[in-house]
Amino acid sequence: MSNFYHMPVLPKPDAKKVTINVDGADVEVPEGTNLVEALKTIGIDTPHFCYHQDLPVSGNCRQCMVETDGPRGMGLAIACYTPVRAGMKVATDRSSDKVKQARQAVMEFQLANHPLDCPICDKAGECSLQDNYMAAGRHESRMREDIGKLYKGSPEFRHEDAKGQERGGKHVDLGPTVILDQERCILCDRCVRFMRSVAGEEQLYINQRGDHAFLSTFPGMELKHDYDLNVTDICPVGALTGKHFRFRQRVWNLSKTETIDPFDSLGANITVEHNDGQAWRIMPRRNPEVNKSWISNRTRLEYQKLSKDRLTAGSFQKAEVPLAQAVARAGELVRGARKVAVVASGTLTLEDNAALQALVAGLDKKAELFSGSWAKVGSPDGIAQSGDPVGNRLGLKLLGISENLDELVARAKEFDVLLVAGHDLWALDAQKAKALEAIPERIVLSPWHDATTAKATLSVGVRAWAEVRGTMVNCQGRIQMLNAAPILPSPDLEPVWQVVSSIGKLGWTSELDAYKAAQAGIPALAGINYRGIGSQGRLLEGVVA
């Protein structure tokens, strides 16, 4: 348990290579890493439960056994804690029966007291126990049923089932977000290590010992932390599940779209998982440079808003109008105005903001571009949030859009048309926003019915962040991709840049046109295309000192 300072050494792209012998063949692997990571670089997956790239090594599950050469000849060792040594010999289950038997044995031990819950277990389909069981082989059971299982559970949750078998704790309510099934727990202690080493608050612990050990909080205390839902991801079995997703979907039905969280300037890498045109959950996507494997509960629950209060049409003078009509009307208003104030936003992509910039440029002196946010900026929590709710703040700066929203408030009377996109100004600061009501025509592009659309004279529904393809620059100066998940509440909805293109008659047909416009304004983006950004983002040189 005190093994909480052995962080695994992960392979770096520029790491020195050493030669080791794996299953009789010499291969080159990064120096200094552990064998799990080293074998991964040459395409060999080592099954494991307790090992996690971003957590200290605990080495208790014993599933990742390989044979290595030591002073006493070839012997079993855990791959997650054996460092690569030049010239070492390694035998995996592909060449060693001993390894195969050891892994089968561990699998048998894991399942000896594990309930046969798979059909009702939310983890089924993405469960390490299932995967490793299928990989390990030996699928017949030697266990005598009349000896029974020893289900894990704290004394207060022990009960007898209809068979007369003593059972452990099922669906134990741990706190506001997480439910624990003590029987399913395989005591890998990943969650304990996460709460201690990453979250920094020890709220979970494995109590008692031997095969009656069980995971729990202090009796009567809750698991409550802004990052506590991460324990449901790292739980290799279905012991810890999130209340928000419990029983909603079977995971094998879900499709995945890789994107990022636009409501924090770190831009945590996430995957939106959807089925039947609806987003069901958000999972963290590993990016060692940005958010490691973690996302905050706020990010994780962001999907719930995607299907709530959506503005799927336009509205003009309090009456609903079809989108096309609303867009056309907006175009007339903007082009026919005396003076237009356009407000760009840091929660929109570079493409959207480039479109707004182009719109203002096209209107010549008639339009002025404003930006900024009244949202409160917090401080980084050191895990997966920078505390700044404006995701693309740096992108705006790169585009040369200054933060002068307060100036607009002061000069509101000069304008007769206001175009706001991606801002809920009235919700952030109704006091300041009140001045903007002096502008007679207020056009709002928003995915949601919100306080700002309520104040608009013309509102146009647009796609939300998870439904658009585009780019954002996070606070580290890393450009990252958003991808569109097929979860549109209405097929007619268009992204902001397209609506703006229609308003300003820019003639853009795809986000690439918009991106090219952004590229033209940002020298650091020269030569970087969407493919070059990749799933892990790309650090822009010289953007952040």
Partner 1 sequence: MTTLTVTQNFGKGAKDIAVYRKLGGYSTIGQKLFDLSQFEMIDLVQRSGLRGRGGAGFPTGMKWSFVPRGGKPVYLVVNADEGEPGTFKDHVLMQEDPHRLIEGMILCGWALGVRTAYIYVRGEFLPAIETLNAAIKQAYEAGFLGENIQGSGYSLDIYVHRGAGAYICGEETALINSLEGFKGQPRLKPPFPAVSGAWASPTCVNNVETLMALPWIFENGAEAYAAMGTPKSTGTKVFSVSGDVKRPGVYEVPLGTPLMELLESDKYCQGVVGKLKGVIPGGSSSPVLTVEEAAKATMDYEALAALKTMLGSGAVVVFNETRSVVGMLASLTRFYAHESCGQCTPCREGTGYADRILKTVVAGKGRDGDLENMLSLADNFSYTTICPLASADAGPIQNFIGKYRAEFDAVVARNPEHADERVTPAFRPGAFW
Partner 2 sequence: MARIVPRTEMTLVEKAYIPEIARGLKVTMGHFLKGFFKPESIPVKHYPEVEPFVPRDYRSRHRLMKRPDGEPRCVACFMCATACPANCMTIEATSSDDDRIEKKPSKFEIDQLVCVFCGLCVEACPVDAIRMDTKKMAFAADKRETFKVGLEDLMDWDPKDYPESDIQSQKAPGGTLNAQARKEWGLQ
Partner 3 sequence: MGHCHKHVDQPKAEEILPKLEVPSVLSRVEELIRRYPVPRSALLQVLWLAQETLGWLPQEAIKWAAAKCSVSPVHAYGVSTFYTMYKKEPTGRFFLQICQNVSCHVLGAEDIIAHAERTLGISSHGGTTSDDLFTLLRVECLGACGNGPVMQVNDDFATDVVDGKLAMPAGVALTAERFDKIVAWCRDRAKSLSKEPKRDATGGIFESKGHPGAKGAVSQAQGFYAPVPPALGVAAVRTDDGKVKLTWRAAPETTTLHIEKKTGSDFAVAASISGKEKEWLDDAAEGTEYRIVTETAQGRGKASNVAKAPAAKGA
Q: Is 110 a residue that touches partner 1 (CB under 8 A)?
A: yes
What are 64's two structure tokens?
Answer: 């990742």
The answer for residues whose C-beta is within 8 angstroms of residue 483's C-beta and 6 or more apart is: 257, 258, 259, 469
Polymer length of the chain: 545
Total residues contacting partner 3 (rule CB under 8 A)?
Answer: 19
- Kindly tell me which residue out of 38, 79, 106, 499 binds partner 1, with binding defined by CB under 8 A: 106
**Minimum CB distance to partner 3, residue 83 (Å):** 24
Distances (CA, A) of 322 to 316, 489, 506: 10, 15, 21
Give the H/E segment covering residue 263.
none
Comparing CB distances to partner 1, the nearer of 57 and 408 is 57
- Where in 439-478 is the site for partner 1 (CB under 8 A)? none
- Where in 280-309 is the site for partner 3 (CB under 8 A)? none
**Minimum CB distance to partner 1, residue 205 (Å):** 9
Q: Is 170 a residue that touches partner 1 (CB under 8 A)?
A: yes
Q: Interface mask (CB under 8 A) for partner 1, residues 203-242, using x and -?
A: ---x-xxxxxx-----------------------------
Q: Do residues 47 and 136 make contact, with C-beta atoms less than 8 angstroms apart?
A: yes
**Minimum CB distance to partner 1, residue 73 (Å):** 13
Q: Which does 217 bind (CB under 5 to 8 A by kind): partner 3, partner 1, partner 2, none?
A: partner 3
Q: Is 182 a residue that touches partner 3 (CB under 8 A)?
A: no
Q: Which does 155 bind (CB under 5 to 8 A by kind): partner 3, partner 1, partner 2, none?
A: partner 3
- Kindly tell me which residue out of 134, 143, 221, 430 binds partner 1, with binding defined by CB under 8 A: 143
**Minimum CB distance to partner 1, residue 118 (Å):** 11
Q: Is 158 a residue that touches partner 3 (CB under 8 A)?
A: yes
The answer for residues whose C-beta is within 8 angstroms of residue 209's C-beta and 6 or more apart is: none
Comparing CB distances to partner 1, the nearer of 101 and 297 is 101
Measured CA to CA, the distance from residue 340 to residue 451 in angstroms comes to: 21
Give the H/E segment covering residue 364.
none
Choose the stretch contacting partner 3; rule: CB under 8 A; options: 83-91, 99-107, 212-220, 303-311: 212-220
Q: Is 202 a residue that touches partner 3 (CB under 8 A)?
A: yes
Measured CA to CA, the distance from residue 211 to residue 417 in angstroms comes to: 71
Measured CA to CA, the distance from residue 256 to residue 20 in angstroms comes to: 37
Q: Which does 129 bind (CB under 5 to 8 A by kind): partner 3, partner 1, partner 2, none?
A: none
Q: Is 209 a residue that touches partner 3 (CB under 8 A)?
A: yes
DSSP 475-488: TTSEEEEE---S--
Measured CA to CA, the distance from residue 519 to residue 530 in angstroms comes to: 11
Provide the 8-state DSSP code for 310. B
Measured CA to CA, the distance from residue 109 to residue 287 in angstroms comes to: 33
Tell how far CA 279 is from the center of its chain.
13
> Which parts of this chain interact with partner 2 (CB under 8 A)?
119-120, 124, 159, 161-162, 170-171, 246-248, 250, 252-253
- Kindly tell me which residue out of 206, 343, 355, 444 binds partner 3, with binding defined by CB under 8 A: 206
Q: Which does 248 bind (CB under 5 to 8 A by kind): partner 2, partner 1, partner 3, none?
A: partner 2
> 281: closest CA among 50, 122, 135, 63?
122
Using CB atoms within 10 Å of the CB of residue 431, give its burial: 0 to 12 exposed, 13 to 18 middle, 19+ buried.
exposed
Using CB atoms within 10 Å of the CB of residue 47, give its burial: 0 to 12 exposed, 13 to 18 middle, 19+ buried.
buried
Q: Is 204 a residue that touches partner 3 (CB under 8 A)?
A: yes
Q: Which residues bind partner 1 (CB under 8 A)?
A: 1-3, 5-6, 57-63, 65, 75-76, 81, 101-102, 105-106, 108-110, 112-113, 115-117, 119-120, 142-148, 150, 161-163, 165, 167, 170, 186-187, 206, 208-213
Q: Which residues bind partner 3 (CB under 8 A)?
A: 155-156, 158, 201-209, 212, 216-221
